[in-house]
Chain A
Amino acid sequence: MSNIVLQDIFLLLILIGLSIPLGRYIDRVMSGQRVFLSRLFAPLEKGAYRLMGIRADEEMSAKKYALSVLVFSLTGLIAVWLLMVLQGSLLNPEGFSGTSWHLAFNTAASFVSNTNWQAYSGETTLSYLTQALGLTVQNFVSAASGIAVLYALIRGFVRKERNTVGSFWVDLTRITLYVLLPLSFIVAILLVSQGVVQSLGAYHTVSALESGAQQMLPMGPAASQIAIKQLGTNGGGFFGANSAYPFENPTVMSNIVEMLSILLIPSALCVSFGRAVKNRRQGTVLYVVMMLLFVGALIGITLSEANGGITLSGVAANGNLEGKEVIHGIGASSFWGAATTAASNGSVNAMHGSFTPLGGLLLLFLMQLGEIVFGGVGSGLYGMLAFVLLTVFIAGLMVGRTPEYLGKKVEPYDMKMVCLVILIPPLLSLLGTAVAVMLPAVHGWLTNSGAHGFSEVLYAFTSMANNNGSAFGGYHANNVFTNVLGGAIMLFSRFVPMVAVVFLGGNLAKKRQVAASDGTLATDNAMFTGLLIGVILIIGALSFLPTLSLGPIADYFTTR
């Protein structure tokens, strides 16, 4: 256990150490300043703008910004769908044929919305071309879109009496070129050095040592996709078993690189935010809130996995190893579980369906909080900022003053947008679950019976409605109902809040800056930190306690 504690502290310290310089760098990139990579990429950037027919200083209204996000994402949706359905012989050594229309829709929606829910196994379904040109590209741009929209909101706080929130094309291009591509390249090479495969050759066949039976070893351009899947909080595995599969994550070091990559950009963005609004303490408060919620969940999950599972006579008690790789053990599997559900990543290095009931409950709850504990890149922080506005609003009601945050008055229009951001994911999680459990066919899709079976359904729709993408693997997801409903849920829960956030930013940008007075609620101290955590937990608990009682809590009390 002391190893695990040391390991957790070590990982979090490295994370904090890396996130601060990266956060500063991202803010320089997003505010259009020159950075050290400009020398290399500036000509490329200019060329790209010329092709798009735009100028770098051309700004957009909120409406145009939001429309650009939607049109761009729709382009990606159509491209991935076509690539999957029409999958041909190009870069397809195993000769996989096109997929069903509904699986293609689900997957396209999933990758465009940064969810990466997967109802298929990559190694038995997709050509290398689909993986690289379809899915890898969406890994990049869905992450970049999240950060772009975050900055549209941040500009709303910073600007005074302006009608524009930046240019989506410039934001998207700069974040991809200067942040995501170089970071992914480094991480990809680190992963290959550990044994993550990266080849365009055909699958290997070997005969096994003892039986001589043929064993198929899948290959592919995996490391390049896995790097951005972690950095961009996408999470979709190149292979079906995701990062539990040794070709995705073979060693202790690869595991550390991937775990840190999951949390790196979401935490760095807290630093970027503090710098962008010229008030670093505001960024620090959000970082602290996320970290406290994360550490709380991490402790709970680790304890539950270390002490849970079945004790049988004649077996050494070693915690719950079911669904976990020996090399990652209880410690690194619990850390990964907490990180991937907190940060809206959804990749796994252990099977979440085989976590203990209470460990599984915390994984679920981290998603149900709305993916704001670090959360998706960009989307986590704009979700957290929605909760900040809600907290300011509630505090304002208590003392009878107009609420304000960062010098901007929070008014009814803003609160309507905040409600869209906060309420859509829980609404869709619960509606999806409710519809699914009423179907007679649902029994055929479950592996577990009883309360854990219900948890499989709840987890599936929570994961899709919060753009996470991980699963209780016992749920057989590749059917028309789950593919179509789930695809629609992923799109709605991604793009309705996104558009609301852009409009919120647009509305805030139009406002005057009001000077702080004695009556202004301070949002950078311990009291506000506590208040914010309280609001987050209360909203999450109010939305989900009934379903959690039917699932993991009942599971805990009715099984051993």
Chain B
Amino acid sequence: MLEIISEIALVTLAVALVVTFIRLVKGPTLPDRIVAMDLFGVLVVGLIVVLAGSSGVRATLDAAIVIALIGFLGTIAYATYVERGDPQ
């Protein structure tokens, strides 16, 4: 039963990734795209966590930690870039 549940959760997360990607492509301004990238990272972390929980492969949790870290740092970097403007 849990296999079916985990596949439903994975498919739902994949649909969420696609929907977020639509905003990433459409987004009229750069902050829209930054918000979409941030949500993208969180969704990928959730996907990896569900995969680790359903398959029992514990090493993938380390990858989830790294992706969460890099997503936060990228968001902060993009936000300072937007706030300061073009460095030239």
Do the two shown chains form a genuine complex with each other?
no
Q: B residues bordering A, Cβ < 8 Å?
A: none
